[in-house]
Amino acid sequence: MTLSELLIKVPELENYLRYMPEELKTRCTIKTYPPKTIIHQKDAELDYFGIVCEGYHRVINEFENGNVFMIERNDPIDFVGEVAILAGKPRTSVTIETTTDCTVLYFSRKDFEDWIEKDIHFLRLVSQKVAYKLYRSSYNRGNRLFYPPQHLLLLYFLQYIEEYHSCVIRRTREEIHEETGISVKTLNRTIRKLKESGMVGITKGKVTMDEAQQKMAREYVQEGRE
């Protein structure tokens, strides 16, 4: 795929490349990845910058004991490596894994650094994305510290339903553990209690919530915040 073809396929990309230095058009590369591909490994040397043009990915933090903590799940258009580069760090601080087919437009680190020095419009777009992620992280951070597992799980289920327009939570227990920080043992116990109370259902091993259950969950979450 060429850059021209990518711009036709993803027209919103034009806003990001509007004032890009002309010479970068011949120095960029485009790669497409299948789901569950690591495209950005924690602690690796970072010599590139990427624009995720298509597909969804998750940002995770991996620890030496094997535990994985999901920081966020992002949709296009997004960036790869921008935080480390803007912070002046030589290595990545997180791992990025695709959750669907993803198309990424790559530039060298030096080209990106030169680009943002010349292009205030692009720098503003990158900065806005970084600021949005920090805002979202700061806004949600207290939830995991102060709310009980039942509150966190119901909030997670409601957010999933809103995002994917599905009353079936198509996530494994391990994936929910990584996304919420709740241990698998506590997850199973809490889901069992929610089912017993009638706030969720279970179909073929997946959590489900009909409209009445969603209403109950929203009321429970709201009461917990008051």
What's the CATH number where 153 sits? 1.10.10.10
**Do residues 95 and 187 share a domain?**
no
Q: Does residue 181 contact residue 69 with C-beta atoms inside 8 Å?
A: yes
Question: Structure pTM?
Answer: 0.72
**Do residues 52 and 131 share a domain?**
yes
Low-confidence ranges of the chain (pLDDT < 50): none
**Do residues 51 and 124 share a domain?**
yes
* DSSP, res 77: S
Alpha-carbon distances, residue 139 vs 62, 116, 224, 225 (angstroms): 23, 28, 16, 14
Q: Which of 125, 143, 161 is the last residue of a domain?
A: 143
CATH number (domain holding residue 82): 2.60.120.10
**Do residues 13 and 114 share a domain?**
yes
**How many whole angstroms separate alpha carbon 22 and alpha carbon 20?**
6
Q: Which residue has the tokens 């943002």?
A: 116
**Do residues 183 and 166 share a domain?**
yes
- Residue 142 confidence (pLDDT): 60
- Residue 37 confidence (pLDDT): 95
**Do residues 94 and 173 share a domain?**
no
Q: Does residue 77 contact residue 53 with C-beta atoms inside 8 Å?
A: yes
**Do residues 156 and 44 share a domain?**
no
The model's pLDDT over 161-203, given as tens digits with 9 standing for 90+, comes to 988 889 999 988 888 887 787 888 999 999 999 999 999 999 9
**Do residues 132 and 219 share a domain?**
no
**E strand map for 170-217:** 201-203, 206-208
**Do residues 49 and 132 share a domain?**
yes
* 3-state SS class at 212: helix
**Do residues 129 and 98 share a domain?**
yes
**Do residues 7 and 102 share a domain?**
yes
**Do residues 118 and 166 share a domain?**
no
* 3-state SS class at 69: strand
Domain count across the chain = 2
Q: Which of 143, 178, 194 is the last residue of a domain?
A: 143
Q: Which of 143, 158, 175 is the last residue of a domain?
A: 143
- Residue 140 confidence (pLDDT): 63
Instruction: Domain of residue 151: give its range.
Output: 147-225
A 10 A CB-CB count for 14 gives 10
Strand 206-208 to 201-203 pairing: antiparallel
**How many whole angstroms separate alpha carbon 146 and alpha carbon 141?**
9
